[in-house]
């Protein structure tokens, strides 16, 4: 196992759409390393493009910070159902340290994905788990959390981030 370097915005790979995972067995070590990296960061989710791997894969654990370990590795995830109800949560991102934004998303989703054994899975997620899964899935499509807010607020957040990064 090893910790992987996390790309920081504005690395252009963070704005790219990822390709499907061809062989689940081939990413098993990568998934292990992604979990280790996510927990060490410390984050609740990590998408493959955040570590420079342009594959449709993310890992998440919505409850570990409260002591309830619920690790989930999702290959080729898709949201197949959302509710009309929405929830707004303050989202941060390991690729944009210190930048949080209040993002409104569906409050409940059904997520389908392939697990590491190649088996199709389907889970219904609510609360933090739903937010995290949607955030990580956005990464696979080249979308950042700040892309989901008002353009003026986005510009202010990114300007503050650039100042903090010495850009």
Residue 108 falls in the annotated catalytic set: no
167 burial class (0-12, 13-18, 19+ CB within 10 angstroms)? exposed
3-state secondary structure of 128: helix
Q: Are 76 and 114 in contact (CB under 8 A)?
A: yes
18 annotated as a binding-site residue: no
State the distance between the two ends of the chain, measured CA to CA, in whole angstroms. 33
145 annotated as a binding-site residue: no
Token representation of residue 108: 């409940």
Q: Which of 36, 66, 108, 136 is catalytic?
A: 136
Supply the residues annotated as catalytic.
136
Binding-site positions: 93, 135, 139
Binding-site positions for Fe cation: 93, 135, 139
């Amino acid at each position: 196992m090893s910790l992987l370097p996390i790309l920081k915005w504005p690395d252009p790979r963070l704005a790219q759409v990822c390709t499907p995972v061809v062989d689940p067995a081939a990413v098993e070590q990568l998934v292990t390393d992604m979990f280790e990296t996510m927990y060490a960061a410390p984050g609740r989710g990590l998408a493959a493009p955040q570590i420079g791997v342009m594959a449709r894969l993310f890992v998440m654990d919505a409850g570990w910070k409260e002591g309830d370990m619920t690790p989930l590795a999702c290959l080729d995830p898709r949201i197949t159902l959302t509710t009309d109800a929405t929830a707004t949560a303050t989202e941060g991102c390991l690729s944009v340290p210190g930048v949080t934004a209040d993002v409104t998303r569906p409050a409940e989703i059904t997520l389908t994905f392939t697990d590491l054994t190649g088996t199709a899975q389907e889970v219904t997620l609510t609360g933090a788990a739903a937010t995290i899964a949607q955030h990580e899935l956005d990464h696979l499509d080249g979308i950042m959390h700040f892309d989901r807010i008002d353009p003026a607020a986005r510009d202010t957040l990114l300007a503050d981030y650039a100042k903090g990064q010495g850009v």
